[in-house]
Amino acid sequence: MVSTYFGYNYITRNLKQSLTRVEQQPDVSREAAYYKAHIGNVKTVDDLMKDYRLYHYALKAYGLEDMAYANAFMKKVLESDLNDSKSFVNKLVDKRYREFAAAFSFNDAAKPVAQSDNQIDEMIGLYTATKKSQVDALASDSNYYSAQIGNVSSADDILNNDRLRNYVYSAFGIDESKWPPATISQVLRSDPSDPSSYVNTTFASQLSGLNAARAQAQSDASTASSNIANYTAQLSQPGANVPQLQVQILVEKHHLETYKNSISSLNDQIATIGGFVDMAGAFEFSPDGSLPAGTPAQTAANITLTKKRFDDSKAAVYSAASPLSEAFAINQFRTAILKLNSVDAFVSTPSVYDFALGAVGLDPKKVSQATIKAVLESDVGDPKSYVYTLKDNRYVQLARAFNFDAKGNLTTPLLAQDAAEVLQISRDYVIQAVKSASTLSTKQQAAVRAQAAKDATAYQEAIAGIDSVSDLLANRPMVDLVLLAKGLNPSKVSTDFLEKIFASDLNDPKSFANTQSDPRFADIVASFNFDSKGNVVRLPMMGPQKRDQLRDTQANYVQQSLEQQQGETNPGVRLALYFQRKAGDITSAYDILADKALSEVFRTTFNLPDQMAAMPIDQQAKYVDKFMKVKDLSDPAKVAKLLSRFSAMYDVKNNQSTGQAQSPLLNLFQGSGSGLSSMSESTYLAIAKLRAH
């Protein structure tokens, strides 16, 4: 039989090839194909457990084959809430059960909502910022007007300057879409005190007729209202001709509506003419549009009047931005958004519709609801979808802020990482940080843990704002946190390298990410919801598993198969491969002691007796801490050195067990403490060669 030392080192030096060979074995590839083809049909825990091949494949992937008989127990594991420290699976000492539960999303699948908590908070923040920005813009326009009006020398100077023209139009209630510049130019040149001026002969002369028409319409409306009241009262009188009265009421209501529309139209016309007259009186232009020598376009009093009228015209903007109005609108929005269940409900709920459009800077009165519905039903991950045809980022912003599918129904939030994944990254980061501080004082460890928790919280908040790979890679602190959570050294991973990793097709075994010797990089890509173009999308689920969960399960199955096959010829190789796989998850001596296989590797490596397992657990932990540094187990090079020592010692120990004399070289290890840094690979090789003699 090949020695443990040679067997282990051969496998690890050719690990990718070894795994590929196992993956291509007929029985392994057949089970993998079956799992991938059928896991998508699983909806519940019972569905999984009823399919023998699926269930056993998953159990083997996480080293739990021997628990296949314990259906009730494993069902409780799968139904446990991983976020609840008191849940069934979190109370189990063996971490394999938690890993198995975490491989499925039976309990943590994202719930379809119109907006997540983060989206609600972001929309409220955007609404507040937009209202403030609008008020600031009005103040800027007024300052600009004050600074520029003194430089105006003709009526056309105002009309040819967009900001000045818009300011004046707003102040005097002029609808630019209805009145050509030539008309407004004539008004600006008019003198309202001159009966023959343009503004008087063209507009003011209409006032008497318009006022008379309005008075008549108001009288007619009053008569119609009175008739409706009379006819309505007659309905209850004895002998009333109800059908006839109802017809008359309908006729009068029609008349009333006509009169009201007429009054509204006449009011608009009268107000427009009043605005024209006021505007003409607010400027000093001559009939030819010029200014008399030494005369400014407006007196100081008229500048003040114009600014006041402008502010009055923007009263709604100022009101909406007031603390009281904002608080009221936000409260209504928070309450109503939780009740929305479709796009139709969205457009028919003013407290949400107006708030959301206002937040992105759209005027609800100027945008059709049909357009908004089409926007919200667009796929923001598809550059050809409707929202992008509008060429207006405000609509894209609105579409991203809500979670509706192509049919207008609720769907899950669009996030760079699912909530469960974000939480796992955060936890792993804190664990790695605490592990790195294992040799520090208790006070220093507490400080490291507190800072790590703070960093993790910042990551959870920042991930909501990531919309693409470029967004992520531009935030190096976030990237470094992910790398550290995976046990990688950020200083050795460049952004250029990560760009290639994220550009890889995970379905292609020859892609850049999949051909790396370290599979953790592909795992990182799989944990994010990016498409081939680097944009955030909603990746499809494979039944109860997300992309990264499916990949982990299949990779684990191959790894377990490799370890089992090696164990059939040499149990020592299996132990070494197992320790290598679990090393990164070890956070304390107790993790080693709680696992029989890890404990055996530890005792064998440092030539400690098996009877040590009978000692009190705390005393055993002291031995572990004496012989090895837990933080070193995050370093692949140090783990490899440790396992080289183990494999050599395993061969020596098993030679002893068959009656062979103890090797003199064994004394080199005894009483040497950790001894890890002082022993060279040549020494391990010498020990391994003893068996050959």
Q: What is the pLDDT of residues 463-518, one digit of tens each?
A: 988 989 999 999 999 999 999 999 899 999 999 999 999 999 998 989 999 999 88
How far is the C-alpha of 56 from the C-alpha of 296, rounded, in Å?
Answer: 90
For residue 415, the number of C-alpha atoms closer than 13 Å in the C-beta half-sphere is: 24
pLDDT band at 110 (very low <50, low <70, confident <90, very high): low
How far is the C-alpha of 402 from the C-alpha of 292, rounded, in Å?
Answer: 58
Name residues whose C-beta falls within 8 Å of residue 467's C-beta, 6 or more positions apart in sequence. 400, 416, 535, 536
How far is the C-alpha of 248 from the C-alpha of 254, rounded, in Å?
Answer: 10
Interval 640-659 mean pLDDT:
81
Interval 253-264 mean pLDDT:
96
For every residue of 17-84, DSSP letters joined together read HHHHHHHTSHHHHHHHHHHHHHGGG--SHHHHHHSHHHHHHHHHHTT-GGGTT-HHHHHHHHTS-TT-
For the cut 70, the answer to whether the pLDDT of residue 687 exceeds it is no
Name residues whose C-beta falls within 8 Å of residue 38's C-beta, 6 or more positions apart in sequence. 51, 53, 54
Q: At what angle do helices 476-485 and 495-502 cross, to 10 degrees?
A: 70
Q: Which of 206-210, 334-338, 658-662, 682-686 has the least mean pLDDT?
A: 658-662
For the cut 70, the answer to whether the pLDDT of residue 666 exceeds it is no
pLDDT band at 541 (very low <50, low <70, confident <90, very high): confident
For every residue of 163-177, DSSP letters joined together read HHHHHHHHHTT--TT
Torsions phi, psi of 535, nearest 5?
Answer: -100, 155
Give the per-residue pLDDT at 420: 81
CB neighbourhood size of 555 (10 A)? 16
How far is the C-alpha of 681 from the C-alpha of 544, rounded, in Å?
Answer: 46
For the cut 60, the answer to whether the pLDDT of residue 692 exceeds it is no
Interval 638-642 mean pLDDT:
92
Interval 128-148 mean pLDDT:
96
Name the nearest CA neighbour of 104 among 50, 63, 48, 155. Answer: 48
pLDDT band at 380 (very low <50, low <70, confident <90, very high): confident
Interval 418-426 mean pLDDT:
87
For residue 94, the number of C-alpha atoms closer than 13 Å in the C-beta half-sphere is: 13
pLDDT band at 572 (very low <50, low <70, confident <90, very high): very high
Give the per-residue pLDDT at 676: 44
Contact (CB, 8 A) for 192 and 204: yes
Report pLDDT digits (tens) over 274-333: 999 999 999 999 999 999 999 999 999 999 999 999 999 999 999 999 999 999 999 999
Q: Which of 30-39, 110-119, 191-200, 353-362 has the least mean pLDDT?
A: 110-119
- CA distance to 109, 415, 461, 535, 584, per residue, from 422 (Å): 13, 10, 10, 18, 19
Torsions phi, psi of 536, nearest 5?
Answer: -70, 130
Kindly state the percentage of the chain with pLDDT values over 70: 94
For the cut 70, the answer to whether the pLDDT of residue 38 exceeds it is yes
Per-residue tokens: 7 = 């067997």
CB neighbourhood size of 524 (10 A)? 22
- CA distance to 72, 121, 198, 556, per residue, from 41 (Å): 22, 36, 79, 21
Per-residue tokens: 409 = 């129904």
- CA distance to 263, 586, 599, 602, 620, per residue, from 591 (Å): 83, 6, 9, 12, 12
How far is the C-alpha of 575 from the C-alpha of 651, rounded, in Å?
Answer: 12
530 forms bridges with which residues in the sheet? 536
For the cut 50, the answer to whether the pLDDT of residue 660 exceeds it is no
Name the nearest CA neighbour of 187 among 158, 166, 230. Answer: 158
Interval 123-141 mean pLDDT:
95
For every residue of 318-332, DSSP letters joined together read HHHTSHHHHHHHHHH
Give the per-residue pLDDT at 668: 36
Which residue is associated with the tokens 């938690």?
Answer: 98
Which amino acid is present at 92?
L
Report pLDDT digits (tens) over 435-456: 888 778 888 989 999 999 999 9
Per-residue tokens: 20 = 């590929």
How far is the C-alpha of 490 from the C-alpha of 216, rounded, in Å?
Answer: 81
What is the overall mean pLDDT for the chain?
90
Give the per-residue pLDDT at 663: 41
How far is the C-alpha of 332 from the C-alpha of 326, rounded, in Å?
Answer: 10
Contact (CB, 8 A) for 73 and 97: no
For every residue of 252-290, DSSP letters joined together read HHHHHHHHHHHHHHHHHHHHHHHHHHHHHHH----TTSB
Which amino acid is present at 336?
A
3-state class of 545 per DSSP?
Answer: strand
Which amino acid is present at 569?
T
Report pLDDT digits (tens) over 544-553: 999 999 999 9
For the cut 50, the answer to whether the pLDDT of residue 658 exceeds it is no
409 forms bridges with which residues in the sheet? 342
Give the per-residue pLDDT at 103: 93
Q: Which of 249-253, 327-331, 535-539 has the least mean pLDDT?
A: 535-539
Name residues whose C-beta falls within 8 Å of residue 681's C-beta, 6 or more positions apart in sequence. 641, 644
DSSP 8-state code for residue 191: -
CB neighbourhood size of 59 (10 A)? 20
How far is the C-alpha of 90 from the C-alpha of 79, rounded, in Å?
Answer: 12
Q: How many residues does the chain have?
A: 693
